[in-house]
């Protein structure tokens, strides 16, 4: 067998929110991977260590969870009034697939910080001390995200006292604004925030039965169901779901049924190539529970409980994009999320998730009888974990 040496590619390993991933500048990728296609997919899979039938990512940078099997490509923006284009790839752990169908809200935080680290923001707009507004074009879903990144002595401030449940150590707060976060043009609704035209639908799920569901496209396509309707309290932690194969099959069936009803796929088998979207979130009225970090969460401190599925497993906290969906749905009277939170009109909610709580806000309005969301806001943090080069075998792509 001929010897094919490894190549090294400049890369930055970053945490953003409750996720982490490998960040690249587009111009640093090999020429064949600077365009979408098989070469790019294979390269990023090899970086992460996928597909891995052992589901460990021992031979790559991934962490063998949906939160840690991610790659990001950043480049100078192709859009006016934006600083960078941000492209996100969700790398399947054990199958030969990269999902480009959605955004990662958590790593959007990292994209803002990375844009400054990489020198992509006009130096004239970067304060010596203060907050730098980084305008990000999210290229997967064609949306604007504004990251308000703290700067100290001309550099991104990464340390601070902002605490985020699901992240062990405090860091500097980055406020994210997701502008007009409803998806456009995909699914049967042709870009409507509620693609079926209804706030609540009856979803017929093979092997499960008829379920009440709110289906929304804000932040990321999401199917909301009541926890009680599928046999849960809404206060579950990861082992209860992820160690129960029957539960995973049931929740995947709900996801597939929702994807079909939303028009995201035309046949059930297409869901295998669309693992990242839609998300399934089950919600419940607030109740006391102990988080995975052994923190007591009191019902009086939250508006509702929410648990989200990501890439076939219960998420350890809450995806940033699903948080946008939760805030948006909660703001619309009559959705399952709004009802779980007590009903009425609200511009922000604090929800309980497996690792703790999160507050997120959304501004919604009715336009010609249709609900629309203009902005969702949340706080996260980001930090460089390692920078230098990532190495992959030369035949990887």
Give the residue numbers marked as catalytic: 104, 319
Buried b (16+ CB within 10 A) or exposed e, 49-80: bbebeeeebeebbbbbbbbbbbbbbbbbbeee
Which tokens belong to 2? 């001929």
Name which of 247, 241, 268 is nearest 257 in CA terms.
268
53 backbone dihedrals φ, ψ, rounded to 5°? -65, -20
- Number of separate helices (H) and strands (E) present in the chain: 6, 21
Look-up of token digits 């919600």: 283
Instruction: Work out the number of other CB atoms within 10 angstroms of the CB of residue 246.
Output: 8
Look-up of token digits 């589901």: 55
DSSP code per residue over 346-392: -SEEEEEETTEEEEEEEEEEEETTEEEEEEEEEEE-EEEEEEEEEEE
For residue 354, whether the previous peptide bond is cis, meaning omega lies within 30 degrees of 0, is no
Q: How far apart are CA 238 and CA 383, in angstroms?
A: 25
| Contacts of residue 137, Cβ cutoff 8 Å, sequence gap at least 6 | 77, 78, 79, 82, 84, 85, 86, 143, 144
Q: How far apart are CA 6 and CA 240, in angstroms?
A: 42
Q: How far apart are CA 184 and CA 300, in angstroms?
A: 37
Q: How far apart are CA 258 and CA 253, in angstroms?
A: 8
| Contacts of residue 27, Cβ cutoff 8 Å, sequence gap at least 6 | 34, 75
């Amino acid at each position: 067998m001929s010897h094919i040496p490894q190549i090294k590619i400049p890369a930055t390993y970053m945490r953003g929110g409750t996720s982490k991933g490998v960040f690249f500048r587009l111009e640093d990728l090999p020429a064949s991977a600077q365009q979408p296609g098989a070469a790019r997919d294979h390269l990023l899979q090899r970086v992460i260590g996928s597909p891995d039938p052992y589901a460990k990512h021992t031979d790559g940078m991934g962490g063998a969870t949906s939160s840690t099997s991610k790659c990001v490509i950043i480049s100078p923006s192709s859009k006016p009034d934006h600083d960078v284009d941000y492209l996100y790839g969700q790398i399947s752990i054990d199958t030969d697939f990269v999902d480009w169908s959605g955004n990662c809200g958590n790593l959007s935080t990292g994209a803002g910080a990375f844009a400054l680290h990489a020198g992509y923001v006009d130096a004239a707009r970067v304060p010596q001390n203060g907050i730098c507004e980084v305008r990000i074009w999210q290229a997967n879903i064609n949306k604007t995200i504004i990251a308000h990144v703290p700067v100290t002595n001309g550099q991104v401030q990464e340390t601070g006292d902002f605490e985020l449940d699901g992240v062990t150590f405090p860091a500097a707060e980055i406020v994210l604004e997701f502008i007009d976060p409803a998806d456009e043009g995909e699914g049967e609704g042709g870009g409507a925030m509620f693609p079926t035209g209804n706030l609540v639908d009856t979803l017929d799920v093979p092997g499960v039965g008829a379920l009440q569901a709110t289906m929304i496209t804000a932040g990321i396509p999401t199917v909301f169901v009541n926890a009680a309707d599928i046999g849960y309290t809404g206060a579950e932690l990861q082992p209860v779901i992820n160690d129960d194969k029957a539960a995973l099959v049931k929740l995947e069936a709900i996801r597939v049924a929702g994807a079909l009803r939303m028009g995201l796929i035309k046949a059930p088998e297409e869901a295998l190539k669309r693992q990242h979207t839609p998300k399934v979130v089950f919600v419940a009225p607030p109740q006391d529970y102990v988080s995975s970090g052994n923190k007591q969460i009191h019902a009086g401190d939250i508006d509702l409980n929410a648990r989200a599925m990501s890439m076939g497993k219960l998420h350890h906290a809450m995806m940033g994009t699903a948080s946008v969906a939760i805030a948006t749905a909660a703001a619309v009277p009559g959705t399952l999320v709004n009802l779980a939170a007590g009903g009425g009109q609200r511009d922000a909610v604090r929800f309980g998730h497996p690792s703790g709580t999160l507050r997120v806000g959304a501004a919604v309005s009715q336009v010609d009888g249709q609900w629309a969301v203009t902005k969702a806001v949340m706080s996260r943090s980001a930090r460089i974990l390692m920078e230098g080069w990532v190495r992959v075998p030369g035949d990887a792509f």
